[in-house]
Amino acid sequence: MNRRNMLRASGLVGALTLHRATGSPWVKGPSGAGKAKDLERAAAILAAAESFGRGGGYDKSWSSSGCPAPVEHEGETILQGSAKGTYCCGWTFAVAMKALTDAGALKKKSAADLRRFQKVWFGATGVEEEALKQCALAVQQLGVGEEVKADEAMAGDFAQLWRKKDRPSGHSVLFLGWVEVAGERIGFSYLSSQGSTDGIGHAVEYFADAKAGHGRVDPERLYFARLAL
């Protein structure tokens, strides 16, 4: 498959024109993904994301795994699939695991390694920094990726965002691109599972300090993870 067809199959071409579907002023993407390796990594991760489809219901109770399908490694179940619908970190974890498995990046990892990986990804270890950065620390600790700065983020990176103002909350997402207006970066587009899309779908959020938009995302608490495929 040539690169253009690979990108089309993965949904990356759709990320470039996402503004048409979302109504955002302009969604730039894939940010910085000019090299063949970057494009291929993004395409592989977005293909993994597309494999789980759209919608499927949102588990607002967060009482299930949040995963769209069972997550397995070498015959062992890491997480069961959810019958109640998905939620953010359950879906992003399933996408990351599929992309890493398809790339053969987990061959030397044990089930115990991956259960620890899952807990850090979900921010469920009781360690403050891991609860804050989640995916960004999880990939480093397992040795399957790295944390990257916001200015280096590309389509296909994972992100942990935190919102502020009247209703503080967090969200685990698959980054697609920045939203910019008149040269100002005011937000970004992503794929994740949320109530507004009744499960898996596209969304756009804006920064709390942006002049344009009515955002809540804290730019100082936005963490990116890049898989090494």
pLDDT for the residue numbered 19: 36
Tell how strand 217-227 and strand 71-73 pair up. unpaired
Weakest mean pLDDT among 26-30, 134-138, 158-162: 26-30
The token duo for 10 is 């993965």
Burial string for 175-189 (b: 16+ CB within 10 Å, else e) reads bbbbbbbeeebbbbb
* Phi–psi pair at 124, nearest 5 degrees: -115, 30
pLDDT of residue 1: 35
Work out the average pLDDT over 114-130: 97
What pLDDT does residue 181 have? 87
7 burial via Cβ count (<10 Å: 0-12, 13-18, 19+): buried
CB 114, CB 78: distance < 8 Å: yes
- Name which residue leads in pLDDT, 122 or 24: 122
User: Peptide bond preceding 70: is omega within 30 degrees of 0, i.e. cis?
Assistant: no
Query: Which uninterrupted H or E stretch holds 79?
Result: strand 76-79
Cβ neighbors of 211 (< 8 A, separation 6 or more) are 184, 186
User: Which pLDDT band holds residue 138 (cuts at 50, 70, 90)?
Assistant: very high
State how far the alpha carbon of 144 is from the alpha carbons of 99, 100, 160, 227, 229, in Å.
11, 8, 17, 6, 8
Record the pTM.
0.87
